[in-house]
Each structure stands twice: as C-alpha cells, then as structure tokens.
Amino acid sequence: MQTDLRRRDLIGDLDFSKEEVETVLDVAFDLKRKRALGELHPYLRDKVLAMLFFFSSTRTRGSFEAGMAQLGGHAAFIESKTTQIAHGDTPVEIGEIFGRYFDGIAIRHVDWKIGNQYINDVAKYSRSPVLNMQCEIYHPFQCLADLMTIIEKKGRDLRRKKMVVSWAYAASYQKPISVPQSLILQMPRFGMDVVLAHPPEFKLMPQIMDAAQEQARKFHTGFEVISDADGMEKAFKDADIIYAKSWGAMLTTEDPNEGSKIISQYKHWITDAKKMKAAKEDAIYMHPLPADRDVEVTSEVMDGPNSVVFDEAENRLHAQKAVMALTMA
Ligand code: CP
C-alpha cells in the first residue's frame, strides 16, 4: 500500500498510481464513515487551501470548502476576476506567492488549450501541492468520486462490468471533454470494460484515447468505441453502468456557433427510460451534474431508482477530503 502522498500534485488522472488511488479510496471511505458517526477528524487543523476559480461551480466549490472545514482547516474562495491576474500576475506569481500563503492551491480553469497548461505552470512554481478542480483535459476529483460510487453500488470486484461513457445532447453550452477523458483513463485500472459512444464529431483527444487504450491493454480490460449517429442506443445494451453526459465538439471545431449547429443534429441522444431498458435491470445511471434536465436526461431517469447522481455528488466531498488529507498534511 503506497501511503506517502505528502506534497504531491493531482492534475492528471494517472498522476497517482493505481495503488495510490486505492489508498485515496480507503481514506475516503473511512472519512465518510467518520462523518456519518459524527467522529471529528481534524487532520488539517490550521491549514488553508486556496480555491482559484476561472469558471463557475456548484459542487466543486461547495465540497472543497466544506471538506476543508471538516478537516479542521479553511478554504479561501478566490475568483480570478477579483484578483490582479488580468493586471500582470502570471502563473509564476500565483505559484510563488500562493504557494507561500497556502498549504494547497486548487484551481479550476477549463479554457480550451489554456487551462491545463496554466495549472501545470502554477505547480512548477508552487511549494504547496496543486490540485486540479477541472481543466479542459481532466476532472480527476470527479472521477475519484465516480469510482467510489461505482464501488459502493457494484462492489470491489468490477472485472467484466460494462461501463458506458456516452455523449448526450445538451443545449446550454459546449461542455468540457474532461469528464469522459478522465473516466476512460481511470476505469480500466479497476477492471471495467469501457464502451465509449459518441456521434462522429465528438471525438476525444487522440493522446488521451491512446493512453486509455494502453491502460485497457495493461489491465486486460475491454475498450470499445462506437462512433456513429445512433451509437447511444447500441452502447446501452446489457450495460452495468451508464454514464451519459454532454460535451463539446472541440476536436472538430473551435467555433462555438459551428459547434452548436453540430450538437443540434443529435437531439435523440437523450437518456430516457426506453434506452435504460436496454441496459441491465440493476444498471446505475451516473452524471457529474449539472445536467440539462429533460434535454440531456429525462427527469424520470434522473430521479428514478437506477440513478445514483446524488450519492455521486456527495462522494466528491469524501474523495476530495481524502486527497487533501494525504497531500496537505
Ligand atoms: N460536477 C462538477 O464539477 O460540478 P460543478 O461544475 O458544479 O463544480
């Protein structure tokens, strides 16, 4: 068991080895149990986390902030637009200065071709660990909470479980591709057979696809891609886990108007009761939220007996507390 994660950054999903992720999960389950019993667990007393946001959030902000308080520390909410970042503070200043003020720096920056580089640049200059609260490539804390939820619902032995990671139609905005990319990287390590389904224009980054295939080979799991206009229905057949969410057509076009036009061709990619019937009877429905209700997924499915979306959102808290306690202690 690899337990020494002190001062480590978590930026990409594979930054922690499988053994280290298992340590995170063990700690997360323990912290969840302690919270349920009202046992105090101030592992980070007097420690402070900077939470630097370049993009909006409900769950990420709430769970990091609550998590730090429950660990006996404090989280400082900092919106980039209220800082001097627009007036000259580069990642060097943020890394050097925040790294000295704070015991950890968590950053959300999802701008295409900018966010991940920014987070890595801050990490280069920070003496404190840097945690990725979502960039345009990865959403590692969401993925840890997803894995924790799958283990709770399906057990520790996930070998031969079919997990569908599917694109879904949504009209609100072109969502980042980071969630599906994190899932296809992490889940093969835990034995799941991943089926990735999307219309042809919604490909993921080639280097991430290569890395996911490599993980699947290494851990002897299945990795199938269904890339056709009616792929959602095909993918759902006999699935154990359905993870269907929208993402943008960034690999096809960086023009948002053109992207919206492409998205509008696939309104039939909605998770509804009829499609869920093709999956196993005890299949779970997952979504990181926010979802476009009755556009991306019907309320019948989202609020139905197969949905685990609120347990999944809760597990953000426990998974993040585990990583913070291990890296910032
Ligand atoms: N799933 C997730 O990251 O939610 P928020 O965007 O609300 O933080």
pLDDT one-digit tens code per residue, 257-295: 999 999 999 999 999 999 999 999 999 999 999 999 999
Give 145 Cα–ligand 1 centroid separation in angstroms.
12
Token pair for 250: 């960034």
One-letter amino acid at 314 equals E
Residue 50 has pLDDT above 90, yes or no: yes
Give 1 Cα–ligand 1 centroid separation in angstroms.
30
The per-residue pLDDT for 108 is: 98
Q: Is the CB of 172 under 6 A from ligand 1?
A: no
Residue 173 has pLDDT above 90, yes or no: no
Phi/psi of residue 102, nearest 5 degrees: -110, 160
Q: Is the CB of 288 under 6 A from ligand 1?
A: yes
Per the CB < 8 A criterion, the answer to whether 179 and 139 are in contact is yes
Q: How many CB atoms lie within 10 A of CB 122?
A: 26
Q: What is the mean pLDDT of residues 73-81?
A: 98
The per-residue pLDDT for 1 is: 82
In three-state secondary structure terms, 108 is strand
Confidence class for position 171, pLDDT limits 50, 70, 90:
confident
Residue 254 has pLDDT above 90, yes or no: yes
Give 140 Cα–ligand 1 centroid separation in angstroms.
12
Q: Is the CB of 120 under 6 A from ligand 1?
A: no
The per-residue pLDDT for 72 is: 98
Give 142 Cα–ligand 1 centroid separation in angstroms.
8
Model pTM score = 0.98
Residue 172 has pLDDT above 90, yes or no: no
Q: Is the CB of 57 under 6 A from ligand 1?
A: yes
Q: Is the CB of 289 under 6 A from ligand 1?
A: yes
Give 52 Cα–ligand 1 centroid separation in angstroms.
14
Residue (of 30, 35, 69, 32) closest to 49 by Cα position: 69
Separation of alpha carbons 18 and 218, rounded Å: 12
The per-residue pLDDT for 250 is: 95
CA atoms within 13 A on the CB side of 201: 21
Q: Helix axis angle, 140-154 relative to 178-186, nearest 10°? A: 50
